[in-house]
Structure 1
Amino acid sequence: MARTSSIVLAGLLAGALTLTGCSRAETDGPQEQSSPVAAETPAANAPTTSAQPDARPADFTDEAAGIVAEMDDTALAGAVIMGSYDGTDAAAGAQLIRDHQLAGVIVMPYNLPQDVDRQTVASMTEQFRTAAGERGWQTMIGVDQEGGPVTRAGSAAVELPPLMAHGAADDPALTSQITALQGRDLIELGFTTDFAPIADVTVGKDDPAISVRSAGDDPQRVSSVVEAAVTGYDEAGIISSLKHFPGHGALTEDSHETLPVSQKSLGELADRDFVPFADAAEAGVATSMMVGHIALPDDETLPASLNPKAYQALREDVGFEGLIVTDALNMGAVTAGSPGQETVRALAAGADLALLPPDSAAAAEAVRTALSDGTLKREDLKESATRVVAAQLWQTAVAGQTGADQTAADESGEDSGPGEDEQRQQLADAALTVMAGECRFADPVDEVSVTGSDLGVKAFTEAAEDAGLKVTDSAETTVALVPGPLLGSETVKQAAERNSTTADVAVALSGPWELEGFDSGTQLAIYDDWQPGMTAVARYLSGDLAATGSLPVQIEGADPPDCS
């Protein structure tokens, strides 16, 4: 998954849509730009049900059911598919929506030019928004924008770290503020759905797919962070989606490439992996949940996304009544015969929304055929489509109300609290974790020498200068940014051993387990190579900041101080 970063002041705009579900199966520097996305929502696509402060998608069910009742087969089949297209020509995505009346499309990195700007993204999403015409509900425009290693909106969106930084900060109110910031930023860009947050409980370094994307290895901590994150997304008025049920964090293979097999049954997963999903369902905060491509012990060839038992567990055992979406159906873990059949099988198993089938047009045609031959029951599909439409109506109403409230606050001069850069720095400061050493640097310095990747050193140097800390080659105190570059044919382990003997301070820029084997006197974790994290390290070394983050995963041999 490609990493991209930027720092952008976010704004607000009335957007479009959201997700809910129910089962039927047995189941690098600041870039300020004004947003060009300011088009009025077409009256025919605006919900007639008003959004109360505590409104949920279910409140829009009756209105959605009325819209679905008027759908023909083409519209009904399209309403349960979020498609994709190749290349950077947004017209191709808009054409898919028009031709097959899709719920919408998801924007992936291959749809964006390198170093994409906000104007380009906003122009693209505007084409999608208007492609559906006046059908009574708006186009769903999705993106995977978690923060950290998964930032599909590229350099156009605000730069944020992955959830493990939130787990280290352990500040639910701050997490809600940050995800609300992120949600507003995405709405300004024209998105209506963010497939986040990660609700998986990771096992740490042996988990290649989830890793720092998770808030940690403790189910209760993950639950707390996830609930706070969803609260922030809801406040902004963007659809969020907890993923990847029944739990991807304990698997040692990546479902993007192959089908990982859980060693635990659904019943055994309930005590640990289900917990964040179940807690969110009980709290009533989840708008949608995503089923991942995870095989279970009783059928090692069938991903959960196509398995009725997984959807049944999410409905009955977890108690989730909202929208269920599949993970991307074009991933390596999914093989389901001829084009479009993966979508039919997912819907038949219990999904409400099929995400990113490998051939969106073929998927729509396959669903229409399955409707006509009885493979998919019309009433079941109408039930799913109603959840999709209701969620979208909710999002449109809530985002519009949020935008109106913000405009009123801006016009009145009301103090809206810390600015976005300040909030991001608050998170970085709160997440800074000492794995070895003191909560406050014992011997503050005014200059350091730094090793690491060229980009890492450049980012740290800029942050250090802003914090009043000099970076020079001759400084006595040495800092190693990990992971750094490899010399010749050396391995990551060899690089770690080399740095462990030469650096006074080691800083993990991704998973804290990257520092295993280091014997540096001071070891820090910031969970991402983002600029505010570098600033936090610089302020710690200069004595201006005490680290208060707590290690969210167990690391063999680590004995961090209690800095809370």
Structure 2
Amino acid sequence: MPQSYVSPTHGSVGTMAAMRFPALLAALALALTACTPGAGSDADARAGDAASSETAGTVGPGADQPDRIGRVADFRELAADLVAQLDDAALAGAVVVGSYDGTDPELGAAMVRDHQLAGAIVMAYNLPEAPTPEDVRAVTRTLADSGADRGWRVFLGVDQEGGPVSRLSTAALDLPPLMAHGAADDAALTTSVTQAQGADLRALGFTADFAPVADVTIGAGDPAINVRSAGADPELVARTVEGAVAGYTDAGLASSAKHFPGHGALAADSHETLPVSDSSIADMADRDLVPFAAAVEADVPMIMMGHIGLPGAETTPATLNPEAYSELRDRLDYDGVVVTDALNMGAVTTRAAGAETVEAIRAGADLALLPPDAGASVTALQEALDSGELPRERLVEAAERVVAMQLWQEDASGLAVTVDDAAHRVSSFAEESLTVLAGECSFPEPVEEIALSGADAEDVAVFTAAAESAGLQIDPDAGLSVGIDGGSSDVLIATDGPWRAAGTGADTVLVTYDDYAAGFAAVARYLRGEAEAGGSLPVDVAGARPPGCD
């Protein structure tokens, strides 16, 4: 869940490995004979230029894609051949994902190229305000071109969960956080919506999304995860995570279940400090680990290690703790990429430049995400390799996993679903996830106009547009009052979770889990009597009296 960042330096770390691996690329071509052109091809570029947030073609939820799309492990042998030809500088860079300051993608491309990085993460600060899809594609095209001399794609990641963690703003499909999926509790529907999201992100030029959140939340006392989790029941979260992983895979995008071993029961935010769990990873087996086990079963390409202190290692984040990686590998039998949470977060205390990356890779990470200084990280990895502090086999193993994932993603993108009904999928999902906290599953006295209030002017504007498009008029003199996130009204809409909305006195309380247009349109249809609320509360809320609309 990367947020803040320190600008990396852009000085050269070593000689660029300008290798094109002709024989191995021929082998890759044979391995990909079933593929259509990938995201890096001219055909993909033309398709991307012509696309909006909905991509062309259609296929139903889950339509046999797992049978057509292989596993990351299938590419390990080819990856090993490619990695064996890397010099030390390229080997060190292959396990680092950096970030750059500002909106000039040439800075990011120089960072990736000069330090031979695995790739980059695109953050909101790399985009203009209210970006368009073409704004994003201009960035990802430039970054992708920075790795033209390697035998695999540049890793291009984004933190696009939906809801409060949506780095692409207006450029991407507008979706709520995972708690809305937990409210719908329909894995096939989650797969369908996530296919649409994944197809959208792939058309924007990304190879990976740092989602879904696999944490099981304790609710209001969980400041970092909260509505980003599917809910409080481990089995519900597991079903939702498995459906989401399937959707991303169907769309040809690498996903990342996060934040192992589980951040949802912690009362501190790792962006600011190191939260410490009272439970060992073994103690978490029946709760926090259940969704991660489901993600492994679904062949998730990546799992993100969280910044979480554990008993006996209270001052060491799991991202730097060898025992945490061993537990993930051995307990869950996971052999995919383990990526760190952002290494510039407050939970990772100050170290010498690059030292946090060496510690993470030595502990068992395969991919170091967003270190404070990507160039220093590559230098530190080389120095640790030279001194013997970092065993070569550990660095080679990490690089092989990362390269295999990128080879898999290129293959998967050629076989992936395409989606031309994204708006319909999201609209249907919005109704199925709309949750009645107080009131009835169908609005008892449908109306054609309402009086609307809300403290956030943008929310009021979005709701007004969505309501009017659904045939519901906004009139300050209307008999039914509707409030967004507070105020005295007949109907209350809660966009930021259900906890503060309980016991407000409103006759009807509706939870959308986010202030997204499709969710507001579902509320409008509910008030007009044209839709029922299909969601069930996925967390416990004191004082709530939900009717159970499932």
Provide TM-score, normalisation by structure 1: 0.85
* Contact 1:255-1:332 within 8 A present in 2 as well: yes
Partner of 1:147: 162
Q: Distance in 1 between matches of 2:473 and 2:334?
A: 53
Q: Distance in 2 between matches of 1:524 and 1:2?
A: 31
Could you list the per-position Cα deviations for residues 422-472 of structure 1 after superposition, in whole angstroms to 9, with x for gaps in the alignment? Answer: 111011010111111111111111221111121122122112212222211
CA apart distance, 1:106: 0.6
CA apart distance, 1:189: 1.1
In structure 2, which of residues 339, 344, 351 is the aligned counterpart of residue 337 of structure 1?
351
- 4+ residue runs over 3 A deviation: none
Partner of 2:143: 128
The one-letter amino acid paired with 1:334 is: V
Q: Distance in 2 between matches of 1:54 and 1:468?
A: 42
* Contact 2:503-2:544 within 8 A present in 1 as well: no
CA apart distance, 1:378: 0.6
CA apart distance, 1:260: 0.9
The one-letter amino acid paired with 1:390 is: A
CA apart distance, 1:13: 7.4
Partner of 2:93: 78
Q: What percentage of aligned pairs have identical amino acids?
A: 52
CA apart distance, 1:200: 0.3
Secondary structure of the structure 1 residue equivalent to 2:277: coil
Partner of 2:537: 551
Secondary structure of the structure 1 residue equivalent to 2:282: helix
CA apart distance, 1:517: 3.0
Secondary structure of the structure 2 residue equivalent to 1:426: helix
Partner of 1:90: 105
CA apart distance, 1:562: 2.2
Partner of 2:184: 169
Q: Does 1:432 align with 2:447?
A: no
Partner of 1:449: 451
Could you list the per-position Cα deviations for residues 148-191 of structure 1 after superposition, in whole angstroms to 9, with x for gaps in the alignment? Answer: 11111222111111111111111111111111111111111111
Q: Does 1:206 align with 2:215?
A: no
Partner of 2:45: none
CA apart distance, 1:15: 2.8
Partner of 1:357: 371
Q: Describe how 1:413-492 pairs up with structure 2 within 5 A.
A: 419-452=421-454, 453-482=456-485, 484=486
Partner of 1:15: 39
In structure 1, which of residues 178, 183, 195 is the aligned counterpart of residue 210 of structure 2?
195
Partner of 1:522: 508
In structure 1, which of residues 101, 112, 115 is the aligned counterpart of residue 130 of structure 2?
115
Partner of 2:295: 280
Q: Distance in 2 between matches of 1:258 and 1:422?
A: 41
* Contact 1:36-1:122 within 8 A present in 2 as well: no
Structure 1 residues 336 and 328: alpha-carbon distance in aligned structure 2, compared to 1, 3 A threshold: same
Q: Distance in 1 between matches of 2:452 and 2:409?
A: 46
Q: Distance in 2 between matches of 1:165 and 1:114?
A: 26
Q: Does 1:300 align with 2:314?
A: yes
Q: Distance in 2 between matches of 1:172 and 1:543?
A: 27
Q: Distance in 2 between matches of 1:165 and 1:396?
A: 30
Provide TM-score, normalisation by structure 2: 0.88
Q: Distance in 2 between matches of 1:464 and 1:288?
A: 39
Could you list the per-position Cα deviations for residues 324-365 of structure 1 after superposition, in whole angstroms to 9, with x for gaps in the alignment? Answer: 000000111102520100000000111011000000000000
* Contact 1:227-1:285 within 8 A present in 2 as well: no
Structure 1 residues 266 and 166: alpha-carbon distance in aligned structure 2, compared to 1, 3 A threshold: same
CA apart distance, 1:380: 1.3
Secondary structure of the structure 1 residue equivalent to 2:68: coil
In structure 2, which of residues 496, 501, 524 is the aligned counterpart of residue 510 of structure 1?
496
Structure 1 residues 52 and 550: alpha-carbon distance in aligned structure 2, compared to 1, 3 A threshold: closer
Q: Distance in 1 between matches of 2:67 and 2:177?
A: 31
Partner of 2:323: 309
Q: Distance in 1 between matches of 2:442 and 2:67?
A: 46
* Contact 1:14-1:187 within 8 A present in 2 as well: no
Structure 1: stretches of 5+ with no match in the other structure: 4-11, 17-31, 38-50, 407-415, 485-498
* Contact 1:148-1:528 within 8 A present in 2 as well: yes
Q: Distance in 2 between matches of 1:62 and 1:463?
A: 51
Partner of 2:79: 64
Partner of 1:266: 281
Q: Distance in 2 between matches of 1:15 and 1:64?
A: 19
